Amino acid sequence: MLSYLAKRLAGFVPLLLGISFVSFLVMAMAPGTPVDLMTDLNPKASPEARERLEKFYGLDQPLYVQYGLWLGRIVQGDLGTSFSRDRRPVLDKIAEALPITLFLNVLDLALILGLAIPIGIYSAARQYSLVDRATTVFVFIGFAMPSFWVALLAMMLFGEQLGWLPISGLRSLDYDSMSALGQIGDRVRHLILPVGIAALTGLAGLSRYMRSSMLEVLRQDYIQTARAKGLSETVVVYRHALRNALLPVVTILGLSIPGLIGGSVIAETIFAIPGMGRLFYTSVLMRDYPVVMGITLIGAVLTLLGNLLADLMYVAVDPRLRKR
Amino acid sequence: MSKVSTVSDVSDVRGTNGKRLLDVRGLATAFDTSEGIVRAVDGVDFHVGEGETVALVGESGCGKSVTALSILRLVQAPAGRIVAGRIELAGVNLLELPEAEMRKVRGAKIAMIFQEPMTSLNPVLTVGYQIAEAVRLHRGLSKREAWKEAVRVLDLVEIPDAAERAAGYPHQLSGGMRQRVMIAMALSCDPRLLIADEPTTALDVTIQAQILELLDSLRARLGMALLLITHDLGVVAERAERVLVMYAGRVIEEGPVDRVFAEPHHPYTRGLLRSVPRLGRERAPLATIPGVVPKLNALPAGCRFRDRCDAAVAECASVDPALEPLGEGRRVACIVATRRGGLES
């Protein structure tokens, strides 16, 4: 087991090198450089000033030298400093945005799993029942509507017309003057719309997935064996079918781990949440290479770890994958 | 002390003169399909005596397995349902039992083993757990006692290192071993009737003989009845006392195996027996029954076998023959055979 883990982790090194190199290349090939953005609209910017800036950022070097320098810093644990006006270390910027996104997305995922799995099980166990039909309709509506559009509609309804919920940010302007309880309440009220909308749209896919996985398992011979033993339908579904039906869901969970830190660009922009999605988006627009590369690298590491975790979870739930 | 272990010295209780254990009357089971309602089982009558081995034969799709599933009320709703008939186990009509009572019959009084040992065991639960589960449910034993009991029945079905195997998973066992596990599971609660639905079809020929031998000896030792579903007439001749021949959802001939095989009355049974390859006659072309089984949602009027029958008369097109007694415990559903007191073969 330990040697397996060591082997997998060692395999990450070439993968990460490849991922970072390709990202570096793609970023450099994108039209416009950070220097362009800083000088193009400034009539006072002379060609000499441009050269100075390029030299300052190291952009005058050939690409492979730039990549080599970046890599050298990364190995020492230094993600560099942002090209933007604030000149802050990339690590600080990420450290600020990451907890917000992580918190929101873990909440989303927990909500989605907590609802989708029971809905899927129930729909499958009572296929074609009223509840099953109703959730099917709901799911297709959820699938069909783009989340940003639902988000805007919800903002109009709950934020504008009814005035029940705040529509942007994570806390109110007078947050600091509230009581402790009021502060918690304020946070919760700000979370309802962004988390609710994300969960609503994610719920559709996963509950459908869970349902079809469960239906597939309920058709298996060993389910008939379980029923022929005289077990009640509850035991058949939860003891015999559920673990088998969850196997494919584990894959989805593993794949959703990188998404936990990536954040949703659209949702964070709409709800003005200062998370990773927004940071990445603005950094790309500003050609802020160090920040883009930093986020890409962290995303890549987490994706690989997520895959590894999914494989380990598989082994935990499926005895067929265990070595004797 | 468990009942199973103490009856090992009970002598063979084979014989048809005992009481009727299972009595099926007019059973009809239908399925809703995209092509309309299909009556997979359409008025089936038969009985199984205490300790008796009865074989149910017929070609694929004739309703053998659906009959078996109907007895345990395991036909899956809403597509499938039992639409008519009575299924009496020791005088109690199973079709009138509430579901909770029916669950006490499944696995405890009637156990079943299936055709596909490779897929009939749950891949994520240990073999021992899957057996102990039934024992705990029906015999009320504690977890530990049930586990011991699981190991004991695994030993009973001649699985080597039973204690170790019980802690293992199904994928670590071969097909033959898995079928032994299924048999152990079925026997763990000492059922009165064991339904074996093509228990050896999916196995190697050498393993088939072992499994059948095991089933037969355990049946004799435990004094239970066996309803053996098969399409292998060799198996029927060797293991069963009585045979039921099914065709297109009906039992069309019934009787003691030696009598039916020596002198089949129904033209379909005659055709089936003729189409068995025999040693020493390899060079002669194998006899076949012309045509195919009619679609169950588009049955011809009159006798269902008429279109493929070599003895059909004009009346067969209008009369749907019932299963009529012919003496010696034999019954046949054929107007030609009944009229002559049996077809000369």
Tens digits of per-residue pLDDT, B325-334? 988 889 999 9
Q: Is residue A204 part of a domain?
A: yes
Measured between beta carbons, the chain A residues lying within 8 angstroms of B116 are: 221
Residue B12 has pLDDT above 50, yes or no: no
A133 with A261, same domain: the answer is yes
pLDDT in tens, B196-206: 999 988 888 88
Å between A322 CA and nearest CA of chain B = 10
Q: Which pLDDT score, from 0 to 100, does residue B51 have?
A: 92
* Residue A159 in tokens: 């934020």
Residues pairing with B27 in the sheet: B44
Residue B17 has pLDDT above 70, yes or no: no
Q: A220: pLDDT confidence band, cut at 50, 70 and 90? A: very high
A227 with B74: Cβ contact below 8 A: yes
A168 touches chain B (CB under 8 A): no
A140 with A44, same domain: the answer is no
Please choose, from the candidates A245, A237, A236, A243, the residue with its C-alpha nearest in 3D space to the C-alpha of residue A210. A245
Domain final residue pick, A47, A75, A103: A75
Q: Is residue A87 part of a domain?
A: no
Measured between beta carbons, the chain B residues lying within 8 angstroms of A239 are: 125
Q: Is residue A270 part of a domain?
A: yes
A129 touches chain B (CB under 8 A): no
Å between B105 CA and nearest CA of chain A = 7
What mean pLDDT comes out for the span A129-158?
87
* Residue B284 in tokens: 């002669």
A200 with A300, same domain: the answer is yes
The most confident of the ranges A31-35, A246-250, B7-11 is A246-250
Q: How far is CA A73 from CA A88, A91, B138, B208, in A?
A: 16, 13, 68, 69
A251 with A152, same domain: the answer is yes
Task: For chain B, list residues whose CB is within 8 angstroms of any CB belonging to chain A.
Answer: 72, 74, 78, 103-108, 111-112, 114, 116, 119-126, 130, 133-134, 137-138, 169, 171-172, 182, 185
* Residue B2 in tokens: 């468990």
> B9-39 as b/e, with b when 16 or more CB fall inside 10 Å?
eeeebeebeeebbbbbeebbbbbeeeeeebb
* Cα(A54)–Cα(A33) distance, integer angstroms: 9
Q: Is residue A302 part of a domain?
A: yes
Measured between beta carbons, the chain B residues lying within 8 angstroms of A227 are: 74, 106
What mean pLDDT comes out for the span A247-261?
77
Question: Across B65-180, where does the E strand assignment appear?
Answer: 80-89, 92-93, 110-113
B106 with A221: Cβ contact below 8 A: no
pLDDT in tens, A38-67: 777 777 777 888 888 888 887 888 888 889
B169 with A320: Cβ contact below 8 A: yes
Measured between beta carbons, the chain A residues lying within 8 angstroms of B114 are: 221, 224-225, 228
Cβ contact B39:B29 at 8 Å: yes
Long-range Cβ contacts of A184-187 (<8 Å, 24+ apart)? none
Å between A315 CA and nearest CA of chain B = 11
Helix (H) or strand (E) holding A215: helix A180-218
B120 with A226: Cβ contact below 8 A: no
Measured between beta carbons, the chain A residues lying within 8 angstroms of B133 are: 229, 231
Q: Of A224, A226, A243, which is closest to B124 when you measure between CB atoms?
A: A243
Q: What is the mean pLDDT of chain B?
A: 88
Helix (H) or strand (E) holding B33: strand B20-33
Q: Is residue A67 part of a domain?
A: yes
* Cα(A271)–Cα(A284) distance, integer angstroms: 20
**Which CATH number does the domain housing residue A299 bear?**
1.10.3720.10
Measured between beta carbons, the chain A residues lying within 8 angstroms of B182 are: 225
A54 with A109, same domain: the answer is no
In degrees and rounded to multiples of 5, residue A100 shows phi and psi of -65, -50
Q: Is residue A176 part of a domain?
A: yes
Name which of B74, B106, B122 to mutate to probe chain A: the one with the most chain A Cβ atoms within 10 A of its Cβ.
B122
Å between A223 CA and nearest CA of chain B = 8
Name which of B32, B69, B113, B124 to mutate to probe chain A: the one with the most chain A Cβ atoms within 10 A of its Cβ.
B124
pLDDT in tens, A231-245: 999 999 999 999 899
Q: Is residue A86 part of a domain?
A: no
What mean pLDDT comes out for the span A126-134?
88
Rounded to two decimals, the ipTM of the complex is 0.87
Q: Which strand ranges, in their side-by-side order, compose the sheet holding B92-93?
A: B36-49, B20-33, B80-89, B92-93
Could you tell me the pTM of the whole model?
Answer: 0.80
pLDDT in tens, B115-157: 999 999 999 999 999 999 999 999 999 999 999 999 999 999 9
Residue B4 has pLDDT above 70, yes or no: no
A99 with A241, same domain: the answer is yes
User: Domain range for residue A106?
Assistant: 94-323
What mean pLDDT comes out for the span A306-314?
83
| Residue A144 CB neighbour total at 10 angstroms | 8
* Cα(B91)–Cα(B192) distance, integer angstroms: 13
A226 touches chain B (CB under 8 A): yes
Long-range Cβ contacts of A250-253 (<8 Å, 24+ apart)? A250/A310, A250/A313, A250/A314, A250/A317, A251/A310, A251/A314, A252/A206, A252/A209, A253/A113, A253/A310, A253/A313
A122 with A268, same domain: the answer is yes
A198 with A306, same domain: the answer is yes
A230 with B120: Cβ contact below 8 A: no
Give the CA dihedral B100, B105, B108, B110, nearest 10 degrees: -150
Domain final residue pick, A45, A75, A105: A75
* Cα(B321)–Cα(B333) distance, integer angstroms: 5
Residue B52 has pLDDT above 50, yes or no: yes
Å between B294 CA and nearest CA of chain A = 27
Q: Of B105, B123, B137, which is closest to A244 when you measure between CB atoms?
A: B123
The most confident of the ranges A251-260, B8-17, B28-37, B67-76 is B67-76
Residue B47 has pLDDT above 60, yes or no: yes
Measured between beta carbons, the chain B residues lying within 8 angstroms of A234 are: none
Give the CA dihedral A194, A210, B80, B194, nearest 10 degrees: -150
Mention every residue, 6+ apart, whose C-beta is less than 8 A from residue B209. Answer: none
What mean pLDDT comes out for the span B100-104?
95
Higher-pLDDT residue of B243, B36 = B243
Residue B14 has pLDDT above 50, yes or no: no
Q: Is residue A221 part of a domain?
A: yes
A15 with A161, same domain: the answer is no
Q: Of A224, A228, A319, which is closest to B124 when you measure between CB atoms?
A: A319
Å between B23 CA and nearest CA of chain A = 19
Q: At residue B2, what is the residue type? A: S
pLDDT in tens, B216-240: 999 999 999 999 999 888 889 889 9
**B-chain residue closest to A241, CA distance:** B122
A35 with A137, same domain: the answer is no
**B-chain residue closest to A217, CA distance:** B122
What mean pLDDT comes out for the span B80-99?
94
- Indicate the number of domains in chain A: 2
Q: Of A230, A232, A240, which is closest to B138 when you measure between CB atoms?
A: A230
DSSP letters along A232-295, please?
Answer: -HHHIIIIIIHHHHHHHHHHHHHHHHHHHHH--HHHHHHTT--SHHHHHHHHHHTT-HHHHHHH
Count of CB contacts below 8 A, A vs B? Answer: 71
Domain final residue pick, A22, A43, A75: A75
A48 with A128, same domain: the answer is no
Q: Report which DSSP code applies to A156.
A: I
Residue B86 has pLDDT above 80, yes or no: yes
B122 with A230: Cβ contact below 8 A: no
Q: Of A230, A243, A318, which is closest to B103 when you measure between CB atoms?
A: A230
A215 with A305, same domain: the answer is yes
Measured between beta carbons, the chain A residues lying within 8 angstroms of B130 are: 225
Measured between beta carbons, the chain B residues lying within 8 angstroms of A240 are: 122, 125
